[in-house]
């Protein structure tokens, strides 16, 4: 695809839908059950309006942020996403290369199909996200492996005790592990560019992909059940295990999937370095509160903690709203996968550049030359008079 023709993330989404078999596109694009949480994530951004400031010198603008002692070029990051190799050839590496080139964080998913050591060679400062069981005999060797690869930031996802019901995937013949259903096979055959450029290229050059990073050992191939069961033990995970990990992990430690302020407070008390405010992109509990709606209370409760957000980000204005409500950075999932499907590394880079360009323009139009100056004073609840917002809502926020 000619990336110059994609003027927005929505354009990349349409390109991904054309390129991918329906089952794989449905996996990327969809959510769980009735997909109410997916819609809520997007609707939450529309619930806020900007209060721009005119006659501010915005000739020079800055969107760099510092996370865990490192300066990044934009308040953006790429969230962990499983089996990215289904969207593009060596998808994990493509995501990592694009993120490194853009100088933004990249979080490698445990459900990835490229060994984390190989991804770390491409982006040595990558972060690793784990789906961890309440089994120290499994977690301990994984921590050693991740540390040996040079990873400094560990993200533990805590909102997936068991797999959710994703009916749209089942209707399209898609599942993880992959089952070669007639619908899935036909979807591949009817999309020859994907079949040749991603599927066959992967099989010929790399062989059948395996789950490489759930544990310290290589997992099973993606078309069969994983060795043991990578979900086993997650339902028993508690804060006690997080405390156990904190004692043994000497890098930065975050939990992902926090929607309650009291959980962020507990994470802070245990010595964690940050939290991801997230409902898993609407892919787990359907009907969960939108990440952006949960953000202000969490940010207010833990002012000393790094608060990150993912879920529903599609525009630079979405990023600015998240930062104004207390996030240090906003992470993207689906937009990066759309770019990967549309154009590999170049497509992911284009998704990041689109958002960074929008952030730059939006900062100027908002009258805020530096993202570090963003705050609730730039926002008003949709449908409310600006003066009313300023008195009743805005002043009560941190």
81 labelled ligand-binding: yes
The SS3 assignment for 78 reads strand
**Res 393: pLDDT:** 44
**Res 226: pLDDT:** 53
158 labelled ligand-binding: no
**Res 185: pLDDT:** 87
157 labelled ligand-binding: yes
Residue 386 has pLDDT above 90, yes or no: no
250, 280, 350, 388: the active-site residue: 280
Confirm if 351 and 88 have CB atoms less than 8 A apart: no
27 labelled ligand-binding: yes
User: Average pLDDT, whole number, for the chain?
Assistant: 93
**Res 91: pLDDT:** 98
What is the average pLDDT across 191-207? 95
Whether 29 sits among the annotated catalytic residues: the reply is no
**Res 231: pLDDT:** 57
Beta bridge partners of residue 106, listed in sequence order: 78
pLDDT 10s digits, 39-77: 999 999 999 999 999 999 999 999 999 999 999 999 999
pLDDT 10s digits, 73-120: 999 999 999 999 999 999 999 999 999 999 999 999 999 999 999 999
Does domain 3-370 fall under CATH 3.20.20.70? My reply is yes
Residue 126 has pLDDT above 80, yes or no: yes
Return the half-sphere exposure (C-beta side, CA atoms, 13 A cut-off) of residue 234.
17
Confirm if 112 and 119 have CB atoms less than 8 A apart: yes
Q: In this prediction, what percent of the chain has a pLDDT beyond 90?
A: 83
pLDDT 10s digits, 293-348: 999 999 999 999 999 999 999 999 999 999 999 999 999 999 999 999 999 999 99
pLDDT 10s digits, 271-290: 999 999 999 999 999 999 99
82 labelled ligand-binding: yes
310 labelled ligand-binding: yes
Q: pLDDT tier at 388 (50, 70, 90 boundaries)? A: low
Confirm if 128 and 150 have CB atoms less than 8 A apart: no
311 labelled ligand-binding: yes
Of the candidates 232, 251, 228, the residue with the CA atom closest to the CA atom of residue 143: 251
Q: How far apart, in whole angstroms, are the C-alpha atoms of residue 258 and residue 279?
A: 7
Beta bridge partners of residue 187, listed in sequence order: none
Q: How far apart, in whole angstroms, are the C-alpha atoms of residue 337 and residue 16?
A: 8
**Res 230: pLDDT:** 52
pTM over 0.85: yes
313 labelled ligand-binding: yes
Name the least confident of 1-5, 122-126, 293-297.
Answer: 1-5
What are the residues whose beta carbons fall under 8 Å from the beta carbon of 55, sequence distance 6 or more?
367
Q: How far apart, in whole angstroms, are the C-alpha atoms of residue 243 and residue 302?
A: 18
Q: pLDDT tier at 227 (50, 70, 90 boundaries)? A: low
Q: How far apart, in whole angstroms, are the C-alpha atoms of residue 398 and residue 396?
A: 7
What is the average pLDDT across 352-367? 98
334 labelled ligand-binding: yes
What are the residues whose beta carbons fall under 8 Å from the beta carbon of 193, sequence distance 6 or more?
19
Length of the chain, in residues: 398
Confirm if 124 and 150 have CB atoms less than 8 A apart: yes
Q: How far apart, in whole angstroms, are the C-alpha atoms of residue 264 and residue 284?
A: 19
3-class SS string, 235-287:
HHCCHHHHHHHHHHCCCEEEEEEECCHHHHHHHHHCCCCEEEECCHHHCCCCC
Residue 391 has pLDDT above 80, yes or no: no
User: Domain coordinates of the chain in residue numbers?
Assistant: 3-370
């Amino acid at each position: 695809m000619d990336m110059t023709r994609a003027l927005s993330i929505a354009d990349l989404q349409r390109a991904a839908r054309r390129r991918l078999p329906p089952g794989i596109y449905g996996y990327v694009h969809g959510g769980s059950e009735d997909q109410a949480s997916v819609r809520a994530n997007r609707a939450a951004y529309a619930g806020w309006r900007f209060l721009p400031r005119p006659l501010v010198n915005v000739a020079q603008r800055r969107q760099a942020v510092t996370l865990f002692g490192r300066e990044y070029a934009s308040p953006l990051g790429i969230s962990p996403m499983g089996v990215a190799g289904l969207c593009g050839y060596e998808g994990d590496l493509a995501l990592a290369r694009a993120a490194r080139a853009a100088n933004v964080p990249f979080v490698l998913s445990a459900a990835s199909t490229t060994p984390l050591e190989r991804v770390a060679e491409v982006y040595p400062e990558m972060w690793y996200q784990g789906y961890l069981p309440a089994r120290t005999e499994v977690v301990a060797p994984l921590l050693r492996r991740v540390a040996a690869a040079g990873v400094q930031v560990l993200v533990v996802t805590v909102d997936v005790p068991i797999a959710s019901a994703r009916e749209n995937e089942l209707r399209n013949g898609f599942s993880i592990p992959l089952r070669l259903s007639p619908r899935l096979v036909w979807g591949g055959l009817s999309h020859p560019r994907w079949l040749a450029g991603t599927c066959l290229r992967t099989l010929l050059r790399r062989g059948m992909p395996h789950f490489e990073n759930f544990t310290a050992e290589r997992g099973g191939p993606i078309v069969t059940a994983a060795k043991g069961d990578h979900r086993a033990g997650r339902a028993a995970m508690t804060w006690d295990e997080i405390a156990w990990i904190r004692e043994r992990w000497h890098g930065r430690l975050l939990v992902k999937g926090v929607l309650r302020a009291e959980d962020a407070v507990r994470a802070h008390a245990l010595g964690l370095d940050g939290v991801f405010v997230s409902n898993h992109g609407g892919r787990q509990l359907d009907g969960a509160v939108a990440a952006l709606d949960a953000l202000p209370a969490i940010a207010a409760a833990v002012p000393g903690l790094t608060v990150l957000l993912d879920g529903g980000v599609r525009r630079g204005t979405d990023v600015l709203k998240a930062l104004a409500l207390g996030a240090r950075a906003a992470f993207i999932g689906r937009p990066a996968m759309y770019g990967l499907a549309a154009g590999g590394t170049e497509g992911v880079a284009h998704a990041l550049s689109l958002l960074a360009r929008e952030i730059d323009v939006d900062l100027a139009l908002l009258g805020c030359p530096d993202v570090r100056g963003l705050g609730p004073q730039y926002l008003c609840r949709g449908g409310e008079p600006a003066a009313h917002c300023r008195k009743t809502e805005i002043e009560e926020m941190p």
